[in-house]
């Protein structure tokens, strides 16, 4: 079954509670945290995740686009995240491993994310302990960018590794996902689709969520 994770990056932040209710039929709520260092954009931090937790029971999929994420695992877990994804490019491998261990200690689900430049094999040291792998299908930082076809091969390679080493692990894609691009990513092996503009830009939001599920 395909799961849909609306990204609140495309919501109206003044009316965030209203815009979260609009996507309540989806599977996960995708929350993009950006620090202005790992990516050029700055979005939201721990207090906003805390407020989101108070206004919804949805599964909070928190995508950390921040340098040295180990520093903030406990805080985002304490704020109510259900899953944290950290970028493999954001720190040395030893500290990525420590950050994953910290997620285990804090009781949140563990995920790693890959920028388009990162090869699929980078997940191998961690794969057996992961709940989800996030393959970026745009360069992280902004909503509304065009889907990178070239990432379909990475999705296929990650799917093959998941089948071999940890079949329960989910495979999420993020960036430029719409009812038009979704069939190709699901055929390549993705089972969780993040979408910002394709959901919040739609007239009929529940209809857009259904269209993405296929
Ligand atoms: C981009 C973020 C995405 C973003 C996707 O760096 O990680 O989650 O919201 O937006 P769309 O679906 O508009 O490409
Ligand atoms: Zn994201």
pLDDT digits (tens, 9 = 90+) for 41-69: 999 999 999 999 999 999 999 999 999 99
Q: Which ligand is nearest to the CA of 137?
A: 1
Pocket (CB within 6 angstroms of ligand 1):
7, 9-10, 30, 32, 63, 138, 140-145, 174-177, 194-198
Query: Which of 19, 35, 91, 174 is an active site residue?
Result: 174
Hey, what are 57's tokens?
């029971």
Question: Which residue among the candidates 27, 32, 61, 91 is catalytic per the annotation?
Answer: 32
Report d(CA 65, CA 79) in Å as an integer. Answer: 17
Tell me, what's the pLDDT at 22?
98
pTM: 0.98
* Residues of the chain where predicted confidence (pLDDT) is lower than 50: none
Q: In degrees rounded to 5, what are phi and psi of residue 30?
A: -95, 125
CB atoms within 10 A of CB 60: 22
């Amino acid at each position: 079954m395909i799961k849909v994770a609306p990204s609140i990056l495309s919501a109206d932040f003044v009316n965030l509670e209203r815009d979260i209710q609009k996507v309540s039929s989806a599977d996960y709520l995708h929350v993009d945290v950006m620090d202005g260092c790992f990516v050029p954009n700055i979005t939201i931090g721990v207090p906003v995740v805390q407020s989101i937790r108070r206004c919804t029971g949805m599964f909070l999929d928190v995508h950390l686009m921040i340098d040295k994420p180990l520093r903030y695992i406990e805080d985002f877990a304490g704020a109510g995240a259900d899953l944290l994804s950290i970028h493999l490019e954001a720190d040395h491998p030893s500290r990525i491993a420590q950050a994953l261990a910290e997620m285990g200690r804090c009781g949140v689900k563990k995920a790693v994310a890959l920028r388009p430049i990162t090869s699929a094999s980078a997940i191998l040291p961690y794969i057996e302990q992961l709940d989800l792998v996030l393959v970026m299908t745009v360069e992280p930082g902004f909503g509304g960018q065009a889907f990178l076809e070239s990432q379909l091969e990475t999705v296929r390679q990650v799917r093959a590794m998941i089948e071999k080493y940890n079949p329960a692990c989910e495979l999420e894609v993020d960036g430029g996902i719409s009812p038009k691009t979704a069939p190709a990513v699901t055929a390549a092996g993705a089972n969780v689709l993040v979408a910002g503009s394709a959901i919040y830009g739609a007239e009929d939001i529940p209809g857009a969520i259904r269209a993405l599920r296929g």
